[in-house]
């Protein structure tokens, strides 16, 4: 029996993950709250929280095509920004009071540029992200955090004190701790949730007030305590890669006998595997250090590839994984190179690895299922 089937807490989070304007977000707006969209997990959402704003991690849930956006992008661009811009041009992001962009990759940079020229959004700000994670780059990113804080304070007529940032960090860390507790349940031989459900829970955390989300997740963890899930899977899998916000993609993987027990994606473990230093003298520097150096990184940071491999190997060992799926969006140069190197590194560790290209929308899943099934069988499962 599915342990989440009768859970009201899970149902609330599932609704938040499957829509853009979920009931919790709508209540926030109805009460006069304002919402800021941001385009990458490297953006410090704690600064929005410190300003009394609701952070909303941008995704294109509900998109069915890119007809409007294709006037500004080519079919050689990543489909994620194309779907995001298409929804924006259709007016689906009118609930946002601002958008913060970042040069995490050229595709996201172009999304911000086109958004600025073609979408009427009140507050717009751009963050310059370093390409390395050393002391000089941390100071650079500290200054970027300071400029974002000042821009938010001026545009929304609020005062953002260091204590406000520290309070936001504590609240965000509370959520991270709950998410890590959820992942710990997935180490079990018969986890009470599968990979699809775990992704639902993680996506929901990027789209509703943190206090409400933390309460829901705490309640769900209580409901899952002592529960055992189904044990009829053939292989335990880890997913690595960039943006993956569609539980249907994970469902396709799990429909052929794989059980996704952990990940290294920017809607998953990379959001919460470490906490931000709550006692730092300068909370802005603590944010910069966390987002650049402390948490598991993505290929945007050029000096951390070895650390990423070590993180992946450790996760595989800790969660007793049989193999790794390296998913990436089509035309993503950063993850293309990363998966090439990760393939070789994991081979040295004796860990099977399958590279999978995908588009943003999960549509025809036949090929995906066939490849995953063959991958599982190649491991003797």
Q: Is residue 344 part of a domain?
A: no
Which CATH number goes with the domain that contains 154? 3.40.50.11890
What is the per-residue pLDDT for 231? 85
Q: Residue 125 sits in which domain range?
A: 30-163
Q: Is residue 266 part of a domain?
A: no
What is the per-residue pLDDT for 176? 98
Q: How many CB atoms lie within 10 A of CB 257?
A: 17
CA distances from 257 to 109, 204, 244 (A): 38, 26, 20
The string of pLDDT tens digits covering residues 184-209 is 999 999 999 999 999 999 999 999 99
What is the per-residue pLDDT for 182? 98
Tokens for 50, please give them: 């410190």
Q: Is residue 99 part of a domain?
A: yes
Q: Is residue 217 part of a domain?
A: no
End-to-end CA distance of the chain: 24
Q: Is residue 54 part of a domain?
A: yes
Q: Is residue 178 part of a domain?
A: no
Q: Is residue 157 part of a domain?
A: yes
Which one-letter DSSP state was computed for residue 69? G
Q: Which residues have CB under 8 Å from 293's CB, separation 6+?
A: 133, 138
Task: Count Cβ neighbours within 10 Å for each residue of 74-89 and write b for 16 or more, e otherwise.
Answer: eeebbbbbbbbbbbbb
Please state the domain count of the chain. 1
Q: Is residue 123 part of a domain?
A: yes
Question: Is the pTM here over 0.85, yes or no?
Answer: yes
Per-residue pLDDT of the chain (381 residues; tens, 9 = 90+): 476 767 999 999 999 999 999 999 999 999 999 999 999 999 999 999 999 999 999 999 999 999 999 999 988 899 999 999 999 999 999 999 999 999 999 999 999 999 999 999 999 999 999 999 999 999 999 999 999 999 999 999 999 999 999 999 999 999 999 999 999 999 999 999 999 999 999 999 999 999 999 999 999 999 999 999 888 899 999 999 989 999 999 999 999 999 999 999 999 999 999 999 999 999 999 999 999 999 999 999 999 999 999 999 999 999 999 999 999 999 999 999 999 999 999 999 999 999 999 999 998 799 999 999 999 999 987
């Amino acid at each position: 029996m599915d342990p989440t089937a009768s859970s009201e807490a899970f149902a609330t989070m599932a609704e938040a993950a499957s829509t853009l304007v979920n009931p919790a977000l709508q209540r926030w707006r109805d009460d006069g709250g304002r919402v800021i969209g941001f385009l990458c997990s490297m953006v410090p959402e704690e600064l929005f929280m410190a300003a009394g704003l609701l952070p909303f991690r941008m995704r294109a849930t509900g998109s069915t095509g890119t007809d409007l956006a294709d006037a500004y992008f080519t079919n050689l661009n990543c489909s994620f920004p194309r779907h995001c811009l298409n929804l924006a041009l259709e007016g689906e992001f009118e609930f946002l009071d601002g958008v913060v962009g970042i040069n995490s990759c050229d595709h996201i940079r172009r999304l911000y540029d086109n958004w600025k020229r073609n979408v009427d959004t009140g507050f717009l700000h751009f963050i310059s992200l370093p390409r390395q994670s050393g002391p000089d780059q941390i100071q650079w990113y500290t200054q970027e955090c300071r400029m974002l804080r000042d821009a938010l304070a001026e545009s929304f007529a609020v005062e953002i004190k260091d204590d406000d940032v520290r309070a936001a960090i504590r609240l965000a860390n509370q959520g991270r701790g709950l998410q890590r507790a959820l992942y710990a349940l997935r180490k079990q031989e018969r986890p009470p949730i599968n990979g699809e459900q775990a992704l639902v829970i993680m996506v929901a955390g990027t789209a509703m007030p943190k206090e409400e989300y933390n309460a829901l997740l705490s309640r769900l963890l209580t409901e899952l305590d002592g529960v055992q899930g189904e044990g009829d899977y053939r292989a335990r899998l880890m997913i690595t890669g960039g943006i993956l916000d569609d539980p249907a993609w994970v469902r396709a993987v799990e429909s052929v006998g794989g059980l996704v027990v952990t990940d290294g994606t920017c809607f998953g473990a990379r959001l919460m595997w470490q906490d931000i230093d709550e006692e730092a003298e300068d909370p802005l520097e603590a944010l910069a250090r966390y987002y650049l150096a402390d948490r598991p990184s993505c290929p945007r940071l050029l000096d951390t590839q070895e650390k990423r491999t070590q993180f992946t190997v450790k996760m595989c060992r800790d969660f007793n994984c049989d193999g790794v799926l390296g998913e990436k969006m089509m035309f993503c140069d950063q993850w293309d190179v990363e998966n090439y190197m990760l393939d070789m590194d994991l081979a040295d560790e004796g860990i099977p690895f399958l590279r999978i290209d995908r588009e943003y929308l999960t549509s025809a899943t036949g090929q995906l299922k066939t490849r995953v099934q063959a991958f599982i069988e190649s491991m003797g499962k």
